[in-house]
Amino acid sequence: MQISLVQPNFRQGGKIFSGYWLPHSIACVYTFVEEKNPDYFDVNRVIFRREAVAVASESMRNDGMVLFSCYMWNWEYNLELSKRIKEINPDAIIVFGGPQVSEFRLEEQQEEFYWVDSWIVSEGELSFEKLTNDLRTEGAVQKTYDAQRLMDLDIPSPYVNGFFDNIIKENPEIKWSTTLETNRGCPFKCSFCDWGSLTYSKIKKFPVPKVYQEIEWLGKNKIEYIFMADANFGIFPDRDMPITDYILDVQKRTGFPATVNANWHKNAKQNVIEIVKKFISNGFNRGMTLSVQSMDDDVLKVIKRKNMESSHLGDMMDLLNREGIGSYTELILPLPLETTDTWRQGLAGVLDIGQHNSIEIWFHQVLENATSNLPEHKNEYGFKTIELPDYVAGDREPDHDQHISEITEIVKATNTMPYEEFLDNWMYAWMIINFHCGGWAQVITRVWDKQGKQTYKESYDQLFEAIQNDTGIVGNKYNETRQILDTYMTTGKMTDGAYGHTLFWYANQDFNRNYDEVMEFIGNTFDTRDK
């Protein structure tokens, strides 16, 4: 049977850098089955980029099956492409899998997207094997496949077995990114994450020799960027440290990969810092992530996320700072039970533990298989959401003008944080990121906090009030940014080239162009003569 595999992602890198992700997930599923059925399938196309739908569908008009790997960055594209394929060739078997296939509302998806013949829920390898066996023996496939997780991860590697060799050979101009799995599973069950709901159970490990073989392949084939796809890299220090050393050795011998990033162990300890330190020393990584999501105990209890004790977080930050290791802290707005007071106290708490380098605030994205997407969860905490186009996006394809917006559902209000307060609290974080992490007010507020003259919370409450009352560059950029955010969160339209996450840094270029005025504003706000 002729088959095509579809796992497109956005082009990365702008005009001078042509970068794409290798379609690793769908390759794992296919090679698992292909090894046991070597003569059954004949691969026609492997779609890794967002080709024009008319061109891509025409190239697959004679396929017996098209297998799609679906996530938030390709769902709308996959729907349009699969529907077009079905129109051209009604006999083609369309199969959807991946995290965007819902465990909660699968029947609704099946009814709405009626042209999809079969849906794979959760991990794909065993389900696709069962689908293939049904097709061979019965001549038909079932509507749904939901096999158990793989217990033994000694499975074929699409890297080592040469699945990607032709793709790389045929596209010499592309700088490739890809994922590397050393284990599967996550011991945490965070409500906002589809990882916990899908894989919550004991972590399963890939054989170390197989991991090493894959790392060798990645170096040999000049893969620029590796993302460690483990949910908690560093959770097994006796295993993960040698893997780190092996990556560094391959990089030294081959010059690749150029960059490595990871989902670090959620309750990171000294051993994780040592791994991060090794990566940074080779120019591999931006730094250590301390993702607290919220600093409020009630919020953390609801979202099933227990952070480290604040004192331990402080110890971690002290160690990172002493070692000269960069770090950044992530929070999500708005989460259930978060209020204006807990949010602003929490931001001050992040500064209290010593995070002065980088704070990142993410909208609360409602992922398809996350607990936060359950109707009862949304109702209990009064979620008001909006579907935003292009919140997850990349560069447009250079060879065609067709643009299919990917849609992300975003929480913009809860029963403890009304919409107007959400806007204000987002702007409060905007102030912290620009004026503390950006340096404008950091020295003053840190000195005053250390001297006991004024806490971070007191200083930034004072600054926030001054910003809102300012009629100069600072107040104008505040009002402009808040209006852009409000427009985006009510209409989905972004203006002036800033959108979504990047809006936090949108004002800084104007602040720097008006350095003297901004510094005068800071001086007038924090009158050191009174302190």
- At 279-308, the pLDDT tens digits run 877 666 667 777 789 999 999 999 987 665
Mean residue pLDDT of the chain comes to 91
The C-alpha atoms of residue 240 and residue 59 are separated, in whole angstroms, by: 42
**Taking 60 as the threshold, does the pLDDT of residue 531 lie above it?**
no
Tell me the percentage of the chain whose pLDDT exceeds 90. 73
Q: How many CA atoms, within 13 angstroms, populate the side-chain half-sphere of residue 33?
A: 23
Residue percentage of the chain with pLDDT more than 70? 92
**127: which 2 tokens?**
């389900």
- pTM: predicted TM-score of the whole model, two decimal places: 0.93
H or E element at residue 26? helix 24-34
State the pLDDT at residue 516.
96
Query: How many CB atoms neighbour CB 423 within 10 A?
Result: 17
Of the given ranges (53-62, 113-122, 195-204, 267-276), which has the lowest mean pLDDT?
A: 195-204
Q: Which residue has the higher pLDDT, 332 or 269?
A: 332
Give the integer Cα–Cα distance in Å for 472 and 489.
Answer: 26
Q: Checking phi first, is residue 452 left (phi over 0); if not, alpha (psi -120 to 50) or beta?
A: left
Tracing tokens 């296939």 back to the chain, one arrives at: 101
254-267: average pLDDT = 86
Q: pLDDT tier at 168 (50, 70, 90 boundaries)?
A: very high
Render pLDDT for 221-233 as a digit per residue (tens, 0 to 9): 999 999 999 988 9
499-524 pLDDT, tens digit per residue, is 666 777 778 889 999 999 999 999 99
Q: Residue 296 and residue 356: Cα distance in Å, rounded?
A: 20
Cα separation, 147 vs 341, in Å, equals 45
